[in-house]
Amino acid sequence: MEKKHSESAWFEPSSCFYCGATKLSPWLKGIKDRLQFVPGSWSFLKCDRCGSAHLSPMPKQEKIAALYPPVYSFRPDFETKSKVKSVLAAIEERLFYRPMHYGEVDAVKRKTGIESGTVLDVGCGTGDRLSRFSRAGFKVRGIDIQTETAEYVRNRLGFEADVGTLDSVFYPNHSFDIVTIYWVIEHLLNVKAVLTKIHSMLKPNGWIVAEIPLADSFQSDLFGNRWCVYSEAPRHLGVPSRDGIQRVMRDCGFTDVTIGPSSILNCAGFFSLSAIPNATATHAYDNASVATHLPRLVAGLLTILYFPVVIMENYFLRRPACGLIFARKSE
């Protein structure tokens, strides 16, 4: 039986975040927080029109920040009491995160045709992506809901970073050439409002670049409520389908909307985190014990072994675990 949530802090979604349909049908049940940080259990509802998934019940906006543990995003210099873990973090950054973020910058430059300009990274985390864009010649700025991560970006990396959301931080219209929003849309209550604001913040012919998990993926069907995307409840509030994300982008004024598969590394990582739930950065780096890192090492190996299946998912079945979306603001 699912644990009841306080009515004052939670509510039931009434319409789809992405296509606006009002029919949301029961789907997945009995989902617990894979980080073991928030007690209770949740369900997901599925939109009858576009197939996007919605958390049930959902937290109200003022409760969301408290749902995130202190160690949530990976960073290459975790301040742990274990020197061994510091070395492991450095190796992980070099083997996985560095090539992934360099690949992201190359993909953005290739698709948009923009070689330099201003970039805002929404949900910048600890700034690794900002560093890559900066080294590629862009002027960068970040925004993140967690105070600690924004301070890290400012104090350790030297980039401008704001604490808050796009609802609480003001950016003038026509401020940015590119707005990146990687792994954030699934955390939003107000998807249309955020995308509409990003549209206004972009310069004419500017681009939004988003990376998101996809509810109509092969892995979603394979794992069901064990998929790491759904067991990220209650922080993942909505998971769009390909149809859903395309609809909402167009509704918010964007043109030239395209969606393709994320990198093989990202998609394979979703599989390994679903197969080994305690391989998260939170589990591995939140204390000094080296033993807690073993599942993450095994998951890293499993990620590499899963590469051939990802190729099938992405390019033959055309049902990738996560998608990379590009959309343009017209003149």
**CATH code at 176?**
3.40.50.150
pLDDT of 80: 53
195-244 pLDDT tens trace: 999 999 999 999 999 999 999 999 999 999 999 999 999 999 999 999 99
* Alpha carbon distance 276, 325 (integer Å): 28
* Alpha carbon distance 133, 56 (integer Å): 37
Chain centroid, CA 314 distance in Å: 18
**Run of H or E residues at 140:** strand 139-144
Q: Which residue has the higher pLDDT, 90 or 65?
A: 65
Structure-token pair, residue 209: 């670049």
209 is a domain residue:
yes
8 is a domain residue:
no
Q: Which domain holds residue 118?
A: 68-224+240-328
Give the contacts of 227 (CB within 8 A, at least 6 positions apart): 219, 220, 270, 274
273 is a domain residue:
yes
Q: Taking residues 318-328, what's their average pLDDT?
A: 97
Average pLDDT over all residues of the chain: 91
231 is a domain residue:
no
pLDDT of 221: 97
* Alpha carbon distance 85, 47 (integer Å): 42
Half-sphere exposure of 55 (CA within 13 A, CB side): 28
17 is a domain residue:
no
* Alpha carbon distance 132, 98 (integer Å): 9
Please determine, for residue 87, whether its predicted confidence score (pLDDT) is greater than 50: yes
Whether 273 and 228 have beta carbons less than 8 Å apart is answered as yes
193 is a domain residue:
yes
Please determine, for residue 257, whether its predicted confidence score (pLDDT) is greater than 50: yes
195 is a domain residue:
yes
Chain centroid, CA 139 distance in Å: 22
Query: Is the Cα torsion angle 226, 231, 237, 241 positive or negative in sign?
Result: negative
147 is a domain residue:
yes
Structural domains of the chain, count: 1
pTM value is 0.91
